[in-house]
Amino acid sequence: FEFEQSSGKSSVLESIVGKDFLPRGSGIVTRRPLVLQLHKSDEGSREYAEFLHLQRKRFTDFAAVRKEIQDETDRETGRTKQISSVPIHLSIYSPNVVNLTLIDLPGLTKVAVEGQPESIVQDIENMVRSYIEKPNCIILAISPANQDLATSDAIKISREVDPTGERTLGVLTKIDLMDKGTDAVDILEGKSYRLKFPWVGVVNRSQADINKNVDMIAARRREREYFSSTPEYRHLAHRMGSEHLAKMLS
């Protein structure tokens, strides 16, 4: 489960899946929980997706999957900025995934924007809590490296429901976007904020990469190169990146 607005969580999920299929944009993009079941299929087999609400329809075009997530969200919430706790169920079959169920939740937010009820801030927090309070769920606390961890809602709420950090995985995004002269080594080594499991740093595609349709496989390779060739992170490279994160999760 992961939640924190504009932390790059869509990109992290897409990296784990190895496909572009999540709606993007500013504001609250995820407005319903998305229950994502990944099924590892045989090497060389065709990747496809199926929705529970459209049984027997196989999607092989992942741009169409994204559109269906948006349309199905709108069917439940109207074309407003409202949220709904009714989940969308999506299964993806691919040789490039690990067997895993992920839940994408609306990002925690501090203020309601135009077209949203004032209660939305609390509604989202309640929805997130209802999932992450479950003792068998692993919490992906995704936070951007270019913001102070002390202000991370994801960490704050995770700590409340999982005080010992037994089931919280800290994921640090946007490491390549940090101010010059600063790095994330203290966090990644567990010195500044300790969790039971080591923090995982990821480097997702930039908006420019996404616009240019840089594919996931190339992006994963670039991410590996970033960690192995950056002097500060070289000693941690073996446990950085979205592929390592997927293995850890499974």
Q: Is the dihedral of CA 17, 23, 29, 30 positive or negative?
A: negative
Give the C-alpha separation, 20 to 92, whole Å.
12
Q: What is the DSSP string of 140-174?
A: EEEEETTS-GGG-HHHHHHHHH-TT-TTEEEEEE-
Domain-embedded: residue 170:
yes
Give the C-alpha separation, 19 to 11, whole Å.
10
| Per-residue pLDDT tens digits for 95-143 | 988 898 999 998 887 777 777 888 888 999 999 999 999 999 999 988 8
Q: What are phi and psi of 168, to 5 degrees?
A: -110, 130
Both tokens of 43, joined, read 């090497």
| Per-residue pLDDT tens digits for 30-39 | 889 999 999 9
Domain-embedded: residue 104:
yes
The confidence band for 167, taking pLDDT boundaries of 50, 70 and 90, is: very high
* Strand, coil or helix: 237: helix
Domain-embedded: residue 3:
no
Domain-embedded: residue 4:
no
Domain-embedded: residue 22:
yes
Domain count within the chain: 1
In the prediction, which pLDDT does 88 show? 96
Check which CATH number belongs to the domain holding 172 and give it: 3.40.50.300
* Strand, coil or helix: 26: coil
Domain-embedded: residue 48:
yes
Q: What are phi and psi of 48, to 5 degrees?
A: -150, 165
In the prediction, which pLDDT does 36 show? 95
Long-range contacts of 220-228 (CB under 8 A, 24+ apart): 220/15, 220/18, 223/15, 226/176, 227/201, 227/203
Taking residues 201-208, report their average pLDDT: 84
Domain-embedded: residue 137:
yes
Domain limits for position 235: 9-249
Domain-embedded: residue 1:
no
Give the C-alpha separation, 133 to 139, whole Å.
9
Give the C-alpha separation, 223 to 57, whole Å.
34
